[in-house]
Amino acid sequence: MKVRFLGHSCVEIVGRHHILIDPDFTNEPLSGVEYICITHAHSDHIGRVAEVSDGIILASPDVCEVAMKLGVSCERLHPVRVGDQVANIRVLPGYSSTNEIIYTIIVLLFLHRKPESAGTPLSFFIDDDASLYHNGDAYKAPLNVTPDILCLPWRNVPFRSNQYKETLVQMTKQINPRYVLPIHHDLQGREADLSEVTEKINVPVLNGYRWYCFYDKEHVS
């Protein structure tokens, strides 16, 4: 199994299956994708989905509707719900603060715009030579999961950024992964220093855009 970060929230996995998560990438994925998992409908998670010609879309029913509006044929859409499993992909609850009324009020007051609809959020647990958990850009994961790899959305946010990062640290300690794969740190205007992750989180950090190869749960290169 091998894993790499492709920019924004996008992660590519090649193992038992070729999986792409949150297809708004800044680096092109390999061809032959089998499954595309989408955590929620924000453009920085779903924006380039129609550019990936291969793969079955796994997302909430309302997020599948967004994908169809972006140009994905309905034959490729496979709506899923919490508790479903497709191949080695488990569908788990997601979390998005953008669905909360407090977030809406803050955006309207300070950014003077209506928040972008996220749809129904999901998270995904990939079970392979190493297991991987991806929760989009959520900073909460009230779940009993212990993956080998946690995709961690390390970024600066407009309000209380230090508090947000501390919540991510606490979430990481709760989940207790073997490795952390930082994501979302390159989003324009929200860029974050990855050296902070190494300082604050006491597990190996998989930095950069290169492939990481897992031969089993103990050996990575």
The angle subtended at Cα 54 by Cα 49 and Cα 59, nearest 5°, is: 50
> pLDDT grade, residue 12 (50/70/90)?
very high
Q: Which residue has the higher pLDDT, 140 or 116?
A: 140
Residue 51 inside a domain? The answer is: yes
Number of Cβ atoms within 10 Å of the Cβ of 71: 9
Q: How far lies 118's CA from each of 39, 64, 86, 152, 201, in Å?
A: 9, 12, 23, 19, 29
Kindly state the percentage of the chain with pLDDT values over 90.
71
Confirm whether 220 is domain-assigned. Answer: no
19, 3 in Cβ contact below 8 A? no
Tell me the C-alpha to C-alpha distance, in Å, between residue 77 and each of 42, 55, 69, 74, 125: 17, 9, 12, 5, 19
CB of 63 within 8 A of CB of 40?
A: yes
Domain assignment of residue 28, given as a range: 2-215
CATH of the domain at 57: 3.60.15.10
d(CA 221, CA 219): 7
Number of domains in the chain: 1
**Residue 206 pLDDT more than 60?**
yes
Residue 153 is predicted with a pLDDT of 94
pLDDT of residue 157: 78
Residue 114 has pLDDT above 90, yes or no: no
Q: Is 221 within the bounds of a domain?
A: no
Taking only the tens place, the pLDDT of each residue in 119-133 is 999 999 999 999 999
Strands (E), 15-160: 18-21, 35-37, 56-59, 77-79, 85-86, 89-93, 122-126, 132-134, 149-153
Within a domain: 198: yes
| Residue 21, domain member (yes or no) | yes
* pLDDT, mean of residues 80-108: 78
Give yes or no for a contact between 168 and 194, defined as CB atoms under 8 angstroms apart: no
Is residue 146 situated within a structural domain? yes
What is the per-residue pLDDT across 129-185, written as a single tens digit (0 to 9) for each? 999 999 998 887 767 889 999 999 998 876 777 888 999 999 999 999 999 999 999
Q: Amino acid identity of 104?
A: T
Q: What integer pLDDT is reported at residue 163 of this predicted model?
A: 87
